[in-house]
Structures are given as structure tokens and as C-alpha cells.
């Protein structure tokens, strides 16, 4: 079974989540679902996964397509098994009705087609676009929230800041894939710590002088604390299966959280990132 979508998985685990959704709705094993994306010839057009919209937009459309496709499969199976479509369930790669079952692959032959396919799209509803006569707009059907706590040490002699402990709690609605959500929280937080404490493009005479990872202060493993991710599960009625976004949210709080911790430690409020010893 194949899912084709036009968005892209930029390391967020989106393809795995889409496979989970399709497998759940169609009653097949996760390993039996193949996901194809970003193929201009074989996948439909999609705006992409920017603005942490991958799970919400593409997840909603895949879920909708899978549910509609499941109805077609139940109808075909009902004809084969001699029962009402409402009595057919999809499980384990089979359509089951009464005491009999038929493999989903056999339903393709029954349909008279060489390949059964179904395509749909998801239209974002309930939002308000920006307009010249308004100062605000509701650009998303759901919003994610997070609270980050951090402990730092500041060297009195050098002014160097070291993060010693970090906790990141995220309201993500329902976590469809908790492992992937934790990975997004930890990865985004690590990037946020880098932006807060060292990452900066330095220019001299109009040219960037630290244009390699050798000189750009990207945090390495030894520079990072143990980051504890806390998933605050909920149920957002606007998201697929109650899910909300998580991808970009985790990179936003670290700068403010670390700046607050530094201010508490040394009594100096630094308002510009990165927080380097010369600014203290």
C-alpha cells in the first residue's frame, strides 16, 4: 500500500506519522505502508511542511483519503462476502464480514482494475486571513504552547555560560508518535540553546568570516545538558486525531529561558542573543 503526498519530511518524522494514519484507517500493518513524497511526477501538489503544518495539513488529508478509501474497500468486500458494508471491518490486511474474510489485495481483482487508488485534499477552514482593515488574524486552526525551565552556571572569571539542566514541556494535543515528538522537542531545544549562547554570523568588511562549522559556534554534544522532554497530551478538535504542531515551537523558548536564568544568576539583563561573555 502506498501513500503519495506532495509535502516533504525534513527530519520531522512526518512520513512515519502518515504511514501510521493510513495503517490505522485501513487496518493494515505499518510495515505494509510505503510513503512517497516530493516527486513532481508522481505526487500531488502541496505547499510544504513550513509553519509546522505537516502533521496538521497532510495528516488531515491522508486520514480523510484513507477513510474514504476504506469505505470503497468495505463496499467491495460486502459484495464478495454477501453482507452489508456496515458489517465489514478492516483488520490485519483483510476485510472481515461475518465468519469470512478476504485479503485486501484480492479486492483489487474484484474491482476489475489493475490498481485501486483514491485521492483527496484537505482545505483549511475556520481561519481568518490578514486584511488591510484589521490588525490581527487567526492564521491557524490550532496553536501549540510550551514551558521551558533551565538551570545555568556563569563563570565569574570568564563570564562563560553553561546550561546544566533543561526541561521542556509541550502541549502538542495528542501525540500520534510520542518518540518522534520527543525527538522534535529535544532537537529544537538544542538548536535554541545554540542560538542563545553562541551561534552568530560574524562579518568583517562585508564578508562572513566564520562560514565553516570549525568557526561557527554550533553546539556539540559536550556543550549540551540533558534535555528532558515532557509531552502534555490533550485533544485538539481541529487537528488530525487531536494532534497539534511541535516542530518549530521547541526552538523559540530557549533564548528567553536562558536569558532569564542568566539574569537571575548575575543580576544583569542581557537583551541580545547570543549571550556571550563580552555582553555581561
Q: Which of 218, 201, 197 is nearest to 209 (CA)?
A: 201
Dihedral (CA of 49, 24, 76, 71) sign:
negative
- Residue with grid cell 492564521, as numbered in its chain: 139
Write out the catalytic residue numbers.
248
36 neighbors 3 (Cβ within 8 angstroms): yes
Query: Rounded to whole angstroms, how far apart are CA atoms 178 and 186?
Result: 12
* Three-class SS state of 161: strand
- Residue with grid cell 537583551, as numbered in its chain: 271
Q: Which of 24, 22, 31, 32 is nearest to 66 (CA)?
A: 22
Query: Rounded to whole angstroms, how far apart are CA atoms 7 and 180?
Result: 18
Amino acid at each position: 500500500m502506498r501513500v503519495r503526498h506532495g509535502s516533504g519530511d525534513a527530519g520531522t518524522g512526518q512520513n512515519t506519522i502518515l504511514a501510521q494514519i493510513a495503517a490505522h484507517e485501513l487496518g493494515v500493518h505499518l510495515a505494509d505502508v510505503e510513503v512517497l513524497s516530493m516527486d513532481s511526477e508522481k505526487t500531488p501538489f502541496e505547499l510544504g511542511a513550513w509553519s509546522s503544518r505537516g502533521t496538521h495539513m497532510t495528516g488531515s488529508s491522508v486520514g480523510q483519503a484513507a477513510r474514504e478509501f476504506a469505505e470503497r474497500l468495505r463496499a467491495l468486500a460486502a459484495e464478495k462476502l454477501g453482507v452489508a458494508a456496515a458489517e465489514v471491518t478492516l483488520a490485519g490486511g483483510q476485510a472481515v464480514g461475518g465468519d469470512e474474510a478476504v485479503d485486501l489485495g484480492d479486492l483489487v481483482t474484484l474491482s476489475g482494475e489493475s490498481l485501486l487508488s483514491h485521492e483527496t485534499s484537505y482545505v483549511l477552514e475556520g481561519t481568518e486571513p490578514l486584511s488591510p482593515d484589521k490588525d490581527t488574524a487567526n492564521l491557524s486552526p490550532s496553536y501549540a504552547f510550551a514551558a521551558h525551565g533551565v538551570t545555568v552556571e556563569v563563570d565569574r572569571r570568564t563570564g562563560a555560560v553553561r546550561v546544566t539542566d533543561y526541561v521542556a514541556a509541550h502541549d502538542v494535543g495528542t501525540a500520534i508518535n510520542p518518540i518522534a515528538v520527543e525527538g522534535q522537542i529535544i532537537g529544537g531545544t538544542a538548536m535554541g540553546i545554540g542560538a542563545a549562547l553562541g551561534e552568530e554570523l560574524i562579518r568583517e568588511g562585508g564578508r562572513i568570516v566564520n562560514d565553516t562549522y570549525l568557526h561557527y559556534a554550533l553546539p556539540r554534544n559536550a556543550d549540551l545538558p540533558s534535555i528532558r522532554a515532557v509531552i502534555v497530551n490533550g485533544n485538539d478538535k481541529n487537528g488530525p486525531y487531536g494532534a497539534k504542531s511541535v516542530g518549530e515551537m521547541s526552538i523559540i523558548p530557549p533564548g528567553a529561558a536562558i536569558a532569564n536564568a542568566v539574569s537571575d544568576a548575575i543580576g544583569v539583563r542581557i537583551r541580545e542573543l547570543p549571550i556571550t561573555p563580552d555582553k555581561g
